[in-house]
Amino acid sequence: MLEIKGLNAWYGESHILHGVDLEVREGEVVTLLGRNGAGKTTTMKSIMGLVPRREGSIRFRGAETIKMMPNHVAKAGIAICPEERGIFGSLSVTENLMLPPVVAPGGLDIDTIYQLFPNLKERARTAHGTRLSGGEQQMLAIARILRTGAKMLLLDEPTEGLAPVIVQQIGRTIREIKKRGFTVLLVEQNFRFAQTVADRHYVMEHGKVVDMIPNHQLESSMDKLHEYLGV
């Protein structure tokens, strides 16, 4: 579904990605693991077209998107939940939820979203999205892209800095949306969490993918993984 070959990306003078290769098949949940600064977030932003300069090939459902503007990538059916969550303070919770335009049929309807995220229903009338707690903001950031009909979701560290009980809820959500046929590329620092949701794991180092570990081999690859992640 998503096929990345030889992806390079730059921020100004700094060359961040040095030929990333990875593939995500339809219906999979795939994680990007790696230390801080390995290029995980830059990979996500490059897929979306949110970096100043990128080269290489990103094919989505067979079509090349490397030259597309972010709005066209979104229209093609890829949606991002960014690391900083991107909740708008000048918009109410409901406005935040309804902001992303629908790009294709097959998105979740509001009732289903409220079933998945009961907190959001309670907080729907909150006047400023940024008044929500960190966990609620994260739910909102995920919920709003489930509405749009985009079937390829880029989730950038959705569990970062959240309480264990909320991390569990996000884990349940990811398994639930996988069941509903969404495809997910997930950036994670916490491979213990990644293990509970993912089919495969790519390991990144210095702007490159250096390894791919299927989830069932994760336990037997622990030594290798500890070395990669330096934990």
Partner 1 sequence: MFMIFGIPGPLLFGQLLLGLINGAFYAMLSLGLAVIFGMLNIINFAHGALFMMGAFVSWMLLNYAGIGYFPSLILAPLIVGIFGLLLEKTIISRLYKLDHLYGLLLTFGLALVIEGLFRNAYGSSGMPYRIPAVLQGATNLGFMFMPNYRGWVVLAALVVCLSTWAIIEKTSLGATLRAATENAPMVQAFGVDVPRLITLTYAGGVALAAFAGVLAAPIYSVNPNMGTNFINTVFAVVVIGGMGSIMGSIVTGFALGVIEGLTKVFYPQASATVVFLVMVIVLLTRPRGLFGKAA
Q: Applying CB under 8 A, which residues contact partner 1?
A: 48-50, 69-71, 73-75, 79-80, 82, 86, 88-91, 95, 98-101, 103, 145, 148
Task: Specify the residue, 92 or 189, whose C-beta has the smaller distance to partner 1.
Answer: 92
Least distance (Å) between residue 92 CB and partner 1 = 8
Task: Specify the residue, 85 or 200, whose C-beta has the smaller distance to partner 1.
Answer: 85
Task: Specify the residue, 71 or 115, whose C-beta has the smaller distance to partner 1.
Answer: 71
Least distance (Å) between residue 99 CB and partner 1 = 6
Q: Could you tell me if 210 and 203 are in contact, meaning their C-beta atoms sit under 8 angstroms apart?
A: yes
Least distance (Å) between residue 123 CB and partner 1 = 17
Q: CA-CA distances (angstroms) from residue 103 to 3, 58, 129, 150, 153?
A: 21, 20, 23, 7, 13
Task: Specify the residue, 61 or 208, whose C-beta has the smaller distance to partner 1.
Answer: 61
Least distance (Å) between residue 163 CB and partner 1 = 25
Q: Could you tell me if 26 and 1 are in contact, meaning their C-beta atoms sit under 8 angstroms apart?
A: yes
- Exposure string of 177-204, with b = 16+ CB inside 10 Å and e = fewer, is bbeeebbbbbbbbbbebbeebbbbbbbb
Return left, alpha or beta for 131; rule: phi > 0 is left, psi -120 to 50 is alpha, else beta. Answer: alpha
